Amino acid sequence: MTATVLDGRALAKGIREDCAGRVAAFAAAAGRPPVLATVLVTGDEASASYVGAQGRAASKLGFDFRLVEVPPGAGTEQARALVAALSAEPAVDAIVVAAPLPRPFDTYAVQSAIDPDKDADGATAYNQGLLLAGRPGPRPATAVAIRALVEATGRPLAGARATVIGRSLVVGKPAAILLLEAHATVTIAHSRTEELAAVARTADFLVCAAGVASLVRSEHVKPGAVVIDAGTNPVGSGENSRLMGDAAYDEVAEVAGWITPVPGGVGPVTNAMLLRGAVELAARRLGPT
């Protein structure tokens, strides 16, 4: 293997330490801990386990973490009403909807009921608009994590070529905007892209966010490129179940200069960035101290 491994867990640890300081400062100024509420539709094991881990991490940092459960039969309108009620609750500082919600929920419609000032994952149209306009505001944690991992390599983004594979609202599009903001020349590839390997191979920074295990092979990677793999794809079953990224790790690591592992790359940094986003919103609500 030739690539240097980008250790997401180590990066996340530093972000959490910074976050703990911010949580303590908030608590000292407000006389209460910051409140993060996460809305979860029950019944989806993967989402429940992800939210459980998020809640434990938040509590450890000093947040008052509130899990708000929605029954799977509730429907979009009921879930929206619940999110709107949380938004109106003065004691709640930050809200996350554990997305994607299972069918037939309309995830975007439910997220849109979050007060933009409490939107920890930058999921509302208002905050997406701020992102597009290059204005400060809460930004999607996964995209922020991707950019932080890119920056951890120390390689300059300005003028470099970046390709993002995936164009979802949650990962691909915001990641592309953040790379563009750092003056990279950005290409967004997707399922209709022709000659994906050739398009990907132009990139000095290759972000994989397709959700397809082993989509990215050695022929997709420019020698020495930075590969940030956001894909988390469950493979196997029972005792043999595990998570795989979008990159075929062993062969891509032979070509890339830097690579994020799965698990242990984008995931932990995303979790830490979400908590940082939440405490930033809480501090903003408190005003200057």
Binding site residues, ligand NAP, CB under 6 A: 142, 165-168, 170-172, 189-193, 196, 209-212, 215, 230-233, 266-267, 270
Name the minimum Å distance from CB 120 to ligand NAP. 14
Checking DSSP bridges between strand 64-70 and strand 35-41, what pairing results, if any?
parallel
Given a contact cutoff of 8 angstroms between Cβ atoms, the answer to whether 271 and 277 are in contact is: no
Nearer to ligand NAP (CB atom), residue 3 or residue 266 = 266
Name the minimum Å distance from CB 89 to ligand NAP. 27
Nearer to ligand NAP (CB atom), residue 72 or residue 211 = 211
| Interatomic CA distance for residues 170 and 36, integer angstroms | 20
Name the minimum Å distance from CB 265 to ligand NAP. 7
| Interatomic CA distance for residues 94 and 56, integer angstroms | 16
Torsion of CA 187, 191, 193, 199, to 10 degrees: 50
Nearer to ligand NAP (CB atom), residue 92 or residue 274 = 274
Name the E strands within the chain.
4-5, 35-41, 64-70, 94-97, 161-165, 185-189, 205-208, 226-229, 233-235, 242-244, 258-259
Name the minimum Å distance from CB 65 to ligand NAP. 18
Name the minimum Å distance from CB 225 to ligand NAP. 17
Nearer to ligand NAP (CB atom), residue 162 or residue 196 = 196
Nearer to ligand NAP (CB atom), residue 135 or residue 192 = 192
Given a contact cutoff of 8 angstroms between Cβ atoms, the answer to whether 172 and 188 are in contact is: yes
